[in-house]
Amino acid sequence: MDIIIIGCGKVGVALAEDLVQEDHNVTMIDTSPERLQTLSEDIDAIKLVGNGASIAMQMEAGVQTADILIAVTGSDEMNLLCCLIARKAGKCHTIARVRNPVYSNEINFIKQTLGISMIINPELAAAMEISRVLRLPSAIRIDPFSRGRVELLKFKVKPEFRLSGKSVREIDNQIGGTVLFAGVERGDEVTIPDGNFVLQDGDLVSFIATPKNSVGFFHNLGIHTNRAKSVLIVGGGTISYYLARQLASMHVRVKIVEKDRARCEFLTENLPGALIINGDGTDRRLLMEEGLTSTEAFVTLTNMDEENVFLTLFARENCGAKLVTKVNRIAFDELLSKLDLGTLIYPKYITSDYIIQYVRAMQNTIGSNVETLYHILDGRAEALEFVIREKSEVTDIPLMNISLKKNLLIACINRGGVIHIPRGQDSIQVGDTVVVITSQRGLHDIRDILKK
């Protein structure tokens, strides 16, 4: 497909990298020649210098024949204008990043009247991801499928769970097959486990289950899964704003520590339920005074990755709270994942995940398409959700008779709202939603699961 990306900031580059890897023809537009020059040559794309909202520029980039235009410049209005012009000039789908909270309640109106296919708000998406995790603090990460009917949860195996040395089959028998282990990360190794796989302490285990069963599973391990009732947030940026708003509706007590006085005043005006503290989040005394030791969750959302990581490490030593850390730069992610920082949130990942997901869904014209996509297992595997719209080679055949690709797992089948953890005798039918976990990138169609 032909894809135009306007704006080559962090997200634009990440998107281009991913899309090029999936064999799309990418054209990148940015106003700054220096920025385009510094992009590494690994991104095999056309790079144009100019104003992306200019019709001449868009024509040069081939907007008339392009399939998708993605506007991810720093300015919301610029992004919307780019999309609007592209809609008039060509017939492509348009995706815009709009992050100003003022527009967040008007997204649907904007989308409909301007004919934009998708509007992504990275901060809102990140806040939603955090609030999901705070609802079930035992999990490091929760990704919903099928509008929340199924979840992919990740947790760390600790000695007190007494899971070490048990095989996946044993655990399965013990809890009655209500969850499915989708992946295990041990050190640098990522495995999609079979029944004989033996767990160890320190493993990061991802599993798929319905929300009810996942709570039951944690109960079985003797973990309290009560949702956090108090949250201390450091950094009063846009993510904290969205997060506090969502938490307030869940009746969670929220305290936000923010350095900038004016920002504090904005927050206290717009978040009547939250307690806004004006102060430096790295002030140890302030954190202690505001109850770091007694909070149930501690979320670091400052703009400095170093501060976030540092604060989380400090909190880990001083309290038993659920920890959430925001990381902007992903260059050192292997290192960070070794530090046991609780839940890591990469806003940049979230944005590109959402867009890639849309691109894949769009690309697919053959009847089944990708509904949802997540990078899981440290970005080395993907969880995809397909909707089966028509008969194909994979439908109506018992799964044990299908020869699947290596490192691929059919994790669950949603049939008319009922979630099945599939066994060998089950088969995929038209109308099902299927979640597939795989370490193979670039799955676009349900038929891609077959070994070729």
Partner 1 sequence: MNYSIVFYILGWILNVEAAFMLLPCIVAVIYGETAGWCFPIVMGISFLIGTPLVIRKPKNTVFYTAEAFVAVSLGWILLSIMGGLPFLISGYITNPVDALFETVSGFTTTGASILTDVEVLPHCLLFWRSFTHWIGGMGVLVFILSLLPSLGGGGTHMNLMKAESPGPSVSRMLPTVKSTAKILYEIYIGLTILQIILLLLGKMPLFDALTITFGTAGTGGFAIKNSSMMDYSPYLQNVTTIFMILFGVNFNAYFFILIRKFRQAFGSEEVRSYLLIIAVSIAIITVNIMPMYSGLSESLRHAAFQVASIITTTGYATANFDEWPELSRAILVLLMFIGACAGSTGGGIKVSRVVILMKTACKEMTQVLHPNAVKKVKMDGKLVEHEVVRSTNVFLVVYLVIFAASVLLVSLDNFDAVTNFTAVAATFNDVGPGLGMVGPVGNYSAYSNFSKLVLTFDMLAGRLEIFPLLILFSRDTWRKF
Question: Which residues contribute to the site for partner 1 (CB under 8 A)?
Answer: 230, 232, 253, 255, 285, 288-289, 291, 293-296
CB 288 to partner 1: min, Å: 6
CB 129 to partner 1: min, Å: 23
CB 227 to partner 1: min, Å: 14
CB 295 to partner 1: min, Å: 5
Q: Kindly tell me which of 131 and 372 has the beta carbon lying closer to partner 1.
A: 131
Closest CA to 428 of 440, 410, 441, 445: 410
Q: Kindly tell me which of 46 and 288 has the beta carbon lying closer to partner 1.
A: 288
CB 275 to partner 1: min, Å: 9
CB 253 to partner 1: min, Å: 6
Q: Kindly tell me which of 167 and 230 has the beta carbon lying closer to partner 1.
A: 230
Q: Kindly tell me which of 25 and 230 has the beta carbon lying closer to partner 1.
A: 230
From the CA atom positions of the chain, what is the Rg in Å?
23
How far is Cα 6 from Cα 58, in angstroms, rounded to an integer?
9
Q: Is 96 exposed, middle or buried (CB count within 10 Å of its CB: 0-12, 13-18, 19+)?
A: buried
Contact 333, 353 (CB under 8 A): no
CB 286 to partner 1: min, Å: 10
Q: Kindly tell me which of 143 and 290 has the beta carbon lying closer to partner 1.
A: 290
Tokens matching residue 152: 């992919």
CB 59 to partner 1: min, Å: 55
CB 322 to partner 1: min, Å: 13
Q: Kindly tell me which of 226 and 303 has the beta carbon lying closer to partner 1.
A: 226
How far is Cα 67 from Cα 6, in angstroms, rounded to an integer?
14
Q: Enumerate the β-bridge partners of residue 231.
A: 254, 297
Q: Is 147 exposed, middle or buried (CB count within 10 Å of its CB: 0-12, 13-18, 19+)?
A: exposed
Which residue is listed with tokens 């302490």? Answer: 201
How far is Cα 417 from Cα 432, in angstroms, rounded to an integer?
9
Q: Kindly tell me which of 178 and 230 has the beta carbon lying closer to partner 1.
A: 230
CB 127 to partner 1: min, Å: 20
CB 292 to partner 1: min, Å: 9
How far is Cα 128 from Cα 211, in angstroms, rounded to an integer?
16
Q: Kindly tell me which of 220 and 230 has the beta carbon lying closer to partner 1.
A: 230
Q: Kindly tell me which of 86 and 228 has the beta carbon lying closer to partner 1.
A: 228
Q: Kindly tell me which of 113 and 293 has the beta carbon lying closer to partner 1.
A: 293
Q: Kindly tell me which of 278 and 351 has the beta carbon lying closer to partner 1.
A: 278
Contact 99, 64 (CB under 8 A): no
